[in-house]
């Protein structure tokens, strides 16, 4: 199974080089089309460019970097790779592009160029995450030293251990084709986790809780059954009761997934930029790469 189209926004002079092995891993999984996008911000022109240089110089050097990436990704078996350099505010350009011509997936780094270690997510990715309806894969970069891409590490063995979080919602169901796609990387293990959220259970009686548990045990078994022919070595289902965020982060702590796959509510009506609290917490606090599906 191939992913139809993937949009990859890149910070050319930041962590892009660090992200390349992880992006290559995604490309090798099977993508029909990839589009690289770099957005030149006005501020960058002011700070980085000598007064004598004109725009064509900057665009030329960005072009060289992007061209190199393009051929790297083509070498991973993607037949159609394009790249574009736009001017503006990155997250707005990214959203606009994704809206005009929706890709199957957007891939972005957790950090770009500023690289502040205590910041959990860079502002471009944060904004795209809150405003897009397109599935977003956030590549986790660990930052040791502010502004230093050399201090960043990334796990490029993305699909070794997959943690799939489900509340059996429509959004969570839309994760299933992505898991099938990842399965071709031959993960060692897939954990399918559902948390019986005590905040929602209240004021259910013990009898009702037992009923929920039975129903959800059945639903987990059905999911496992469905995924059994994907070719994943081991599939484990887990049903736990507690605070959803705490339990999920607890399982992530012990299982150490390389990637977490989860659904999240899309934008609803007047309440734009809505992201469920669980998705918010996982994206900000887990160590793994995270795929958020709407
Ligand atoms: P901040 O910019 O908030 O100070 P940061 O630079 O560490 O922090 P982001 O800019 O959000 O973090 O970078 C995260 C990801 O966003 C990058 O890995 C890249 O995918 C994308 N990105 C950032 N800047 C650009 C850009 N100018 N053009 C295209 N993509 C970008
Ligand atoms: Mn940035």
- The mean pLDDT value for 97-107 works out to 97
Domains of the chain: 3-143 (3.40.50.620), 157-293 (3.40.50.620)
pLDDT given for residue 265 in this prediction: 83
What residues does ligand 1 touch, defined as CB less than 6 Å away? 9-11, 14-15, 37-39, 41, 90, 108-109, 111-115, 122-125
Helix (H) or strand (E) holding 181: helix 176-183
User: Of all atoms in ligand 1, which is nearest to the CA of residue 141?
Assistant: 18
Distance 62 CA to ligand 1 centre (A): 15
pLDDT tops 70 at residue 47: no
Give tens-digit pLDDT for 76-92. Answer: 999 999 999 999 999 99
Span of 44-48, 192-196, 197-201, 275-279 with lowest mean pLDDT: 44-48
Distance 246 CA to ligand 2 centre (A): 30
Give tens-digit pLDDT for 115-157. Answer: 888 888 999 999 999 999 999 999 999 999 999 998 999 999 9
Distance 123 CA to ligand 2 centre (A): 7
Query: What are the φ/ψ torsions at residue 91 (nearest 5 degrees)?
Result: -65, -30
Mean pLDDT score across all residues of the chain = 91
Nearest CA to ligand 1 atom 8: 122
pLDDT given for residue 52 in this prediction: 46
Distance 228 CA to ligand 2 centre (A): 41
- The mean pLDDT value for 264-282 works out to 74
Rounded to two decimals, the pTM is 0.93
- The mean pLDDT value for 33-42 works out to 93
- The mean pLDDT value for 190-213 works out to 89
Out of 113, 132, 148, 289, mutate this one to test ligand 1's pocket (max ligand atoms within 8 Å of CB): namely 113
- CA–CA dist 188, 161 (Å, integer): 6
pLDDT tops 90 at residue 242: yes
Percent of all residues in the chain with a pLDDT value above 70, rounded to a whole number: 91
User: Cβ–Cβ contacts within 10 Å for residue 281, how many?
Assistant: 16
Confidence of residue 266 (pLDDT cuts 50, 70, 90): low
For 114, the 3-state DSSP assignment is coil
Question: Do residues 282 and 251 touch, judged by C-beta distance below 8 A?
Answer: no
- CA–CA dist 291, 267 (Å, integer): 17
Helix (H) or strand (E) holding 45: helix 42-48
Distance 185 CA to ligand 1 centre (A): 27
pLDDT given for residue 199 in this prediction: 82
């Amino acid at each position: 199974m191939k992913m139809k189209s993937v949009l990859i926004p890149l910070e050319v002079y930041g962590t892009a080089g660090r992200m390349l092995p992880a992006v290559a891993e995604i490309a090798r999984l099977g993508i029909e089309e990839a589009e690289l996008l770099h957005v030149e911000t006005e501020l960058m022109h002011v700070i980085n460019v000598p007064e004598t240089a004109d725009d064509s110089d900057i665009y030329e050097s960005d072009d060289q970097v992007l061209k190199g990436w393009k051929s790297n990704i083509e070498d991973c078996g993607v037949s159609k790779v394009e790249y574009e350099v736009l001017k503006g505010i990155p997250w707005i350009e990214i959203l606009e592009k994704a809206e005009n011509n929706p890709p199957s997936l957007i891939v972005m780094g957790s950090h770009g160029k500023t690289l502040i270690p205590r910041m959990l997510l860079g502002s471009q990715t944060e904004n795209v995450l809150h405003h897009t309806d397109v599935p977003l894969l956030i590549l986790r970069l660990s930052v040791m030293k502010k502004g230093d891409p050399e201090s960043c590490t990334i796990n490029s063995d993305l699909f070794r251990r997959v943690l799939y979080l489900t509340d059996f919602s429509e959004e969570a169901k839309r994760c299933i084709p992505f898991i099938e796609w990842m399965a071709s990387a031959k993960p060692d293990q897939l954990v399918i986790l559902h948390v019986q959220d005590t905040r929602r259970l209240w004021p259910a009686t013990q009898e009702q809780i037992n009923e929920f548990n039975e129903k959800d045990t059945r639903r987990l078994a059905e999911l496992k059954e469905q995924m059994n022919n994907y070719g994943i070595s081991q599939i484990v289902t887990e049903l736990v009761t507690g605070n959803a965020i705490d339990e999920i982060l607890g399982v992530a702590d012990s299982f150490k997934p390389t990637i977490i796959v989860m659904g999240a509510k899309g934008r609803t009506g007047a309440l734009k930029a809505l992201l469920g609290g669980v998705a918010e917490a996982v994206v900000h606090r887990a160590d793994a790469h995270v795929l958020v599906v709407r």
